[in-house]
Each structure stands twice: as structure tokens, then as C-alpha cells.
Structure 1
Amino acid sequence: MENLLGLLRIRVQRGINLAVRDSLSSSDPYVVVTFGEQKLKSRVVDNNLNPEWNDALTLSVKDLDVPITLRVYDKDILTSDDKMGDAEIDIKPYVECVRGGLENQPNGFEVKKIQPSETNCLAEESICVWEGGKIVQEMRLRLRNVECGEVVIQLEWIDLQGSEAMSTA
């Protein structure tokens, strides 16, 4: 685990108005998060265009410049899974908040607001918040390469003892 900066927990919370990919006016969506060589998958939610996953996927972070990609698929049994869109997760604003070294703030304290732009996939303003002794960021991501759909995730940084300090990353 050389050069490990820490762990990033991505809580894949829910999908909103996902694209129809099955003939029954529905889909069986799941999410794949890719970060370098790491590839993690949520569970499949059957027949639902507004699925509630609430799955926690944890990535090992060595390089903050490697993009994190989220892809949504429709699970199929007899054919290959259908693509339902993708988004890139920009963790740099979140990491800046974590590096800020805030401690002992009241729950709900807003650390930083991030606005949607052409360089991120945010569907609405995202806020880094002090919650339960740590900084978390909820993001509503607009899916690209599809006619509709959004995915809500939450980021949480996990420091590791013996890992390279975040301040030197």
C-alpha cells in the first residue's frame, strides 16, 4: 500500500429518472465505479427507474489526478447489459475541504459550496458539510451519453494510519 493517501468511500445512494432500457418500460439498474485499476459495483435493483441502492463502495486513493468514472447499466440476462449513462466524479474540491483541517464544527456546518459547471457533472449545487466528526459531500450527478437520469452519491474520506499525509498529496 505504498503511496496510499487514504480511502474514499462513495455511497451510491439513489438514481433519479433513469432511462428505460427494458421492454416493460423499466430497467434493472446497477452502478459501476472505476478508478484506475479499481472497479466496484453496486447491487442490481430490479424494475426501477428511481432505484435506492444505498451501497458503500470504498476506493484506495494513490493519485488525485486519476479520474473516477461512474457508469449506470441495465442488467440483462440473455444479452449484454445496456448502458444507461455515465458521469465523472470530481473529488478535488472535496479533497481541498478535507485538507483544510477543520475540527469540532457543529453538525451541518457548510465548509464549501461547489457549483455545477461545464467541467463537472453536477446537476445542482453540492456542499461539503461537517457531519459526525468528518466532512462529507453529497453530489447529484447528471448522467452523460443518455437521454435522462441522475445519480446521487456521497463522498467520505477515510484517513489511514501510516499513509502518506493528505497535506503532502
Structure 2
Amino acid sequence: MERLLGLLKVKVVSGVNLAICDPLAHSSDPYVAIRLGQQEVFDHDTFTKDDSMGDAEFSILNFVEIAKKDLSHVPDDTVMKTIHPDKGNCFSTESHITWKDGKVSQNIVLKLRNTDTSEIILHLEWVNIPGTVQ
């Protein structure tokens, strides 16, 4: 059995320049699906195949590696690692994994693939579970 390290909270902050997928209504009803391994979580919306507004992917390995460390001695507002946009991720801008207020967090701006200008802004935060060993 795998050891439970904590919880990863993912907050969708906003979508920017999202494509209009319903040309008759001149609007869209965007949804988000987040997949981690075999787990997939959708928002509470209903959707059809023609609702696709693009996709993006990124790795959380660096984030999890930092979250597993004992950071109690690290000063507040410390940037633990900076991730730069490259061909292996969908980052639009560099992203900092930070230690602030006793939490590991990361703000991410992702360029959606299969669309011209759409981006999605996410906030990741690690939540330690009381009683687990880091």
C-alpha cells in the first residue's frame, strides 16, 4: 500500500481568451477536467465533444518532491524552484514553487493546445495531513 503524503489542492483561478465553442450563442460553457494518473476529476458541468476548448499538461513531480521535504527551517516567501516554459510543458510563463505561510504553493499559467490564444490559470497548494510523516 502506498503511503499517503498529503493532499494536492488545485484551484482553477481563471480562463483567459477562451474559444467560443457555441457560435450560435456567441458564448461557451467551459469545463475543466483534471487527470492525475488514472484519476480524473471534472467540474459539475455537463458537456459534449464539441465543447473542447483545448488541453494542456504539466508535471507535478517537482512540486511533490518539494512538498515532501521538511521546510520548517525555510524562511517565509522562499522560492524553492522555478519552472521555465519549454517544449516539455505547456507553461506560458515561468512558475515559482514557493514556501509561504507554512504551505507549498505554485501559480501556473498554461497555454492551451489545439487553440490559438487560450490560457488557464491554476493555483496549486499542498495540504499536509496531520499524523503523516513527511
Please indicate the TM-score interval, normalised by the length of the shorter structure. Answer: 0.7 to 0.9
Correspondence for 1:33: 34
Identify which range, 98-107 or 147-156, moves more after superposition.
Answer: 98-107
SS at match of 1:86: coil
Which amino acid is the alignment partner of residue 38 of structure 1?
Q
Which amino acid is the alignment partner of residue 30 of structure 2?
P
Quick check: which one's strand share is greater? 1
> Which residues of structure 2 form unaligned runs of 5+?
none
Q: Return closer, same or farther for 1:117/1:109 CA change in 2, 3 Å cut-off.
A: same
- With normalisation by structure 2, the TM-score equals 0.82
- With normalisation by structure 1, the TM-score equals 0.67
Correspondence for 1:92: 61
> Which residues of structure 1 form unaligned runs of 5+?
45-74
- Alpha-carbon distance in structure 2 between the residues aligned to 1:30 and 1:104: 40
- Alpha-carbon distance in structure 1 between the residues aligned to 2:63 and 2:92: 16
Task: Tell me how far 1:142 sits from its aligned partner.
Answer: 0.8
In 1, are the aligned partners of 2:18 and 2:117 still within 8 Å (CA)? yes
**Percent of pairs identical after alignment?**
39
SS at match of 2:85: coil
Correspondence for 1:143: 112
The alignment covers a number of residue pairs equal to 132
Higher relative contact order (CA 8 A, sep 6+): 2
Query: What RMSD in Å do the two structures reach over aligned CA positions?
Result: 2.3
Match runs of 1:53-92 below 5 Å: 80-92=49-61
Which amino acid is the alignment partner of residue 129 of structure 2?
L
